[in-house]
Amino acid sequence: MRGSFNYPLNFRYAPTQSFKTRPERRGRNGGNVAEKAVLSSADIARALTRISHEIIEKNRGSEGLLLLGIPTRGSYLAERIGSEIARIVSEPIPVGTLDITLHRDDLRSKPPRALTPTKIPSGGIDGKRIILIDDVLYSGRTIRAALDALGELGRPALVQLAVLIDRGHRELPIRADYVGKNLPTSQEENVKVSISEVDGEDQVIIAGAHE
């Protein structure tokens, strides 16, 4: 894709309340897995509100913005951020969905998944300021696939990335422009983002390694 992709400094977010480690559950191999809640519903709401303000500030307004969520949870986060930006600037913000399934480099190693239709608002992406939105930034391969998918749709003015969680362990030179929370993890840990539209509640949990 010829559009630019920015890599500015990450933002840090400190939740306002502490969380206790959850009771251990049994892992696949019979070991115990400790779960720790790191973001509550209120924390997620504040993080998305802050990201919305940062998007407006960085882009000097909302002109030309187009938010594209990466399914599944990224799509719903994009809707929330779009609604918050619209509330702040008092004008509608176009929001769409970008399916990356056919551009993933792990299609042979993972079970097949259903395609989620890509939905681009009228006017396309040419010349737009694209904000890609996902729930967790990890290796960077999902975002690489998203950039490949965008390249087939047109040429935006620029592409920025917003994620709720950045857990590190990058395998590609990709960095988010907007981060809800930087969350250092080990590769043995799992980060689970739950949102009410899919999971019935908003929270972020770290599941530890098997004991």
CA distance 118 to 148: 13
Instruction: Domains for the chain: give ranges and CATH numbers.
Output: 4-13+41-184 (3.40.50.2020)
Answer yes or no: is pLDDT of 134 > 60.
Answer: yes
Question: What's the pLDDT tens digit per position in 35-80?
Answer: 999 999 999 999 999 999 999 999 999 999 999 999 999 999 999 9
How sure is the predictor about 210, in pLDDT bands with cuts at 50, 70 and 90? Answer: very low
CA distance 39 to 181: 9
DSSP state at residue 51: H
Which residues share a beta bridge with 137? 166
Question: What's the pLDDT tens digit per position in 170-183?
Answer: 999 999 999 999 99
* The pLDDT value given to residue 104: 74
CB 193 within 8 A of CB 202: no
How sure is the predictor about 16, in pLDDT bands with cuts at 50, 70 and 90? Answer: very low
Q: Which of 39, 56, 45, 121 is nearest to 80 (CA)?
A: 45
| pTM assigned to the model | 0.81
Q: Helix, strand, coil: what percent of the chain each, to 5?
A: 25, 25, 45
Cα angle at 124 between 123 and 128, to 5 degrees? 95
Average pLDDT of the chain? 86
